[in-house]
Amino acid sequence: MPKFEKLNLPREGQLITFEEGKPNVPNNPIVPFIRGDGTGVDIWPATQLVLDRAIKKSYGDERKINWFQIFAGDEACEIYGTYNYLPQDTIEAIRHFGVAIKGPLTTPIGGGIRSLNVALRQIFDLYSCVRPCRYYTGTPSPHKNPQNLDIIVYRENTEDIYMGIEWKAGDDNCVDLINHLNNIVIPKSEGLKNRSIPNGSGIGIKPVSKTGSQRHIRKAIEHAKRLSGNKKHVTLVHKGNIMKYTEGAFRDWGYELAINEFRNDCITERESWILDNIQKNPDISIENNAKLIEPGYEKLTNDKKTFICEEVKEVISSIAQSHGDGKWRKLVLVDDRIADSIFQQIQTRPQEYSILATLNLNGDYLSDAAAAIVGGLGMAPGANIGDNAAIFEATHGTAPKHAGLNKINPGSVILSGVMMLEYFGWDEAANLITNGISKAIEQKQVTYDLARLMEPEVKPLSCSSFADAIIANF
């Protein structure tokens, strides 16, 4: 047990441990929580009450969370001193206890400190950010059929342009780097010879690794395996048509993982086409089968034609028996979409998607866009998951102008708590809360942000009364 400088450990409770990336959760775990800045003062008490009541109602005295208060953000500076936004106590507590939940945190300005949320993700290697977006009946939405959207965005959390490896235009290192790239690296690179980076550019580096991509996509596929029907579906979202060796590689490594590591559980979209066409045309030759699956086959080079014929042969010989005759429909379907098209598709054909596994920046945009369809950030939960730790968090910020007014919507942190209960395997308590939220919204018992969008507008509940309305519906 680490020695804490200023923290009071709960008297009871046990440690959550991890085995091969999965948590072993005792019936009385100690769970550190960070109340959060700004509206955290309103949101956290409402959240804790809802979680505790749902656990009590579901399991009586058999299960209980022993809450352990730790500090970050402005609150930490009050206790640990100026600029101590992320004290060592907090880092040690999360490292030791493994699972934590947090309200929103101010991004510090000055003192050379970066985003606390990004820092926590990097310190604990929380490589997958998981953001479910589903609709609760009655929530005001700008969309005509928001109920059709029920997706989970899996955003890679540790790589991509978010690593913050960048140089300002005109900075000496930036100028050196541009000269090195223009004079040495680009001329030596096949296919780049006529290009050059304009002088005066700023430079940002976008690293995307095979290990980083595959461990993230692995989590997404494992999640899809637990779903049913057409929700057993992972879409790799990328901009590989433009960024071939980063975003395109993410897609290729995703397919490679699906085929090599999840062969009995997965089928790719292309393999499913091949099998379905073969099923319909059992007697035709490999070349004719290849023509069926590849529009414009006749115009391809001989190399490409050979490649496609080999692909068809390989699919038939390796999985026609096990996955053919439509058996693949019970497996996880893995396909891919270009990032810009998926923004359209979640609006126009949302019911066709389930888990969207993507890179860091795409995932940031995509999860907010999806949250907007189902009612906005007040209802959008999030979790950051690694192999040895997980932090559940609000997706919105501290909304300082609403702080301390008992007004804000606690839905995002409450639903993040639901994700934590599901992560524990405490599904009864999790379901109780999601049903309670659904019913409260159907009864138009909502906070100001949703009340003002309802037609006709309804009288809003306070933050704490919304929590009470959820509990009353258990």
Point out which residues bind ligand NAP (CB under 6 A). 39, 104-107, 117, 377-378, 393-394, 396-399, 401, 408-409, 412, 449
Q: Identify which of residues 141 and 214 has a Cβ nearer to ligand NAP in the complex.
A: 141
Closest approach of Cβ 416 to ligand NAP, in Å? Answer: 10
Per-residue three-class SS string for the chain: CCCCCCCCCCCCCECCEEECCEEECCCCEEEEEECCCCCHHHHHHHHHHHHHHHHHHHHCCCCCCEEEEECCCHHHHHHHCCCCCCCHHHHHHHHHHCEEEECCCCCCCCCCCCCHHHHHHHHCCCCEEEEEEECCCCCCCCCCCHHHCEEEEEEECCCHHHHCCEECCCCHHHHHHHHHHHHHHHHHCCCCCCCCCCCCCCEECCCCCHHHHHHHHHHHHHHHHCCCHHHCEEEEEECCCCCHHHHHHHHHHHHHHHHHHCCCCEEEHHHHHHHHHHHHCCCCCHHHHHHHHCCCHHHCCHHHHHHHHHHHHHHHHHHHHHHCCCHHHHCEEEEEEEHHHHHHHHHHCHHHCCEEEECHHHHHHHHHHHHHHCCCHHHCEEEEECCCCEEEEECCCCCHHHCCCCCCCCHHHHHHHHHHHHHHCCHHHHHHHHHHHHHHHHCCCCCHHHHCCCCCCCCCCCHHHHHHHHHHCC
Q: Identify which of residues 342 and 450 has a Cβ nearer to ligand NAP in the complex.
A: 450
Q: Identify which of residues 50 and 408 has a Cβ nearer to ligand NAP in the complex.
A: 408
Q: Cβ contacts of residue 187 below 8 Å, gap of 6+? A: 193
Q: Which residue is nearest to ligand NAP (CB)?
A: 397
Closest approach of Cβ 117 to ligand NAP, in Å? Answer: 5
Closest approach of Cβ 76 to ligand NAP, in Å? Answer: 13
Closest approach of Cβ 129 to ligand NAP, in Å? Answer: 11
Q: Identify which of residues 352 and 368 has a Cβ nearer to ligand NAP in the complex.
A: 368
Closest approach of Cβ 73 to ligand NAP, in Å? Answer: 8
Q: Identify which of residues 359 and 394 has a Cβ nearer to ligand NAP in the complex.
A: 394
Catalytically active residues are 162, 239, 340, 364
Q: Identify which of residues 213 and 398 has a Cβ nearer to ligand NAP in the complex.
A: 398
Q: Identify which of residues 53 and 396 has a Cβ nearer to ligand NAP in the complex.
A: 396
Closest approach of Cβ 343 to ligand NAP, in Å? Answer: 21
Closest approach of Cβ 131 to ligand NAP, in Å? Answer: 11
